Amino acid sequence: MEIKSVLHKSLVSIGIILISGCGGSSESAAAETLLELSVTEIEIPYTGGKQTVSVEAGSEWTAYSDADWILCNVNGSTEKNGTVDIIVDENKNFEARTTDITVKSGTTRKEISVVQEAAPEFDTSDIPVPEGYRLVWHDEFNDSKLASPDESLWYYETGDNGWGNNEIQNYIAGSKNGVTCAEVSEGIFSIIAQKAGDEVYSIRINSKESWKYGYFEARLKLPKGKGTWPAFWMLPQEFNAWPDDGEIDIMEEVGYNPEYVSSSIHTKAYNHSIGTQKTKEILVEGSQSEFHVYALEWTEDYIRTYVDGKELFYYPNDKKGNKDTWPFNVPFYLKLNLAWGGFWGGAQGVDETSLPATYQIDYVRVFQKK
């Protein structure tokens, strides 16, 4: 009797295991069929856009992508039929890009392949391109519909806080109280520093894009007058502390020392506040009456500036991996401004009879290696 009872219990247990095993496999197989997508491959133009994919699922579902240029908006995730809106940013690179979007329901996953075409190359038939580089961004200030800088490319920095240099001017967003300090006309962008009551208004603009390494150039005509301080320069995208995060001055000039143009770099180890700055100055005759081209070549190995194609300044990377001496391995923005007075610009006082003073920019161009 005891042997029969044990045998009976064993057979019952085996039956339960078999039934459970078969039932589990059936449910798993069913689950794998309950996720259907209307498409599994999409192509997007370089300008970006939105495409909607229909989803049929047997249980709650979601969709996501690890790419920072794609947004997935899920609609109806708790319903049998839903959609996911795939929103793709503009591709500003000159190479196509691809990624996958994962759609998940329970343990079932399916992928949607996204391919976005490359941005077209700029027309450089009238633009000299440095050897080994290609044009990636530029403003020629030639849009006849714009009377001020293109705000899809630039933004204004405003305020009268001295900007760390005891500067006198109040930077405004183009115009204020009927006074216009930013004008675009006949292919020239003019920054005009001028009196406005007891203040001096001027302009400081910053590129909306930033770049790590490249060849940067602008064709400039500098203002006249003691107190002027024009600059074409760069600060990092992630800027928290000066001079620790670095600064690249492609061109600076002060009006009391007319037509002497300098290039500099500032780091925690090398900066003017402790008398260790790296800088070089030359006389550029006619720089206040004629246009000249000021350029920066910035690579992982060195920073080198030029005036009309001739080297002005050189600073090598010491390759020590020390941010104190080389913080120049992150993206930087471009800046253009005309300061009035300050520790340097006003070191010998200011002459308000020089106002209005005008700083003119013919173009700004950014090239990067192919």
Catalytic residues: 247, 252
DSSP states of 36-52 as a string?
Answer: EES-SEEEE-TT-EEEE
- Kindly state the tokens that stand for 361: 């920019």
Residues 265, 243: contact at Cβ < 8 Å? no
Contact 60, 31 (CB under 8 A): no
C-alpha distances (whole Å) from 212 to each of 89, 96, 298, 327, 362 are 20, 20, 8, 11, 24
Q: b/e string for 285-309 if b means 16 or more Cβ within 10 A? A: eebbeebbbbbbbbeeeebbbbbee
* b (16+ CB within 10 A) / e for 214-231: bbbbbbbbbbebbbbbbb
Task: Give the Cβ contact number of residue 327 at 10 Å.
Answer: 21
Non-local CB neighbours of 70 within 8 Å, separated by 6+ positions = 86, 87, 88, 89, 99, 101, 114
φ, ψ for residue 32, nearest 5 deg: -65, -20
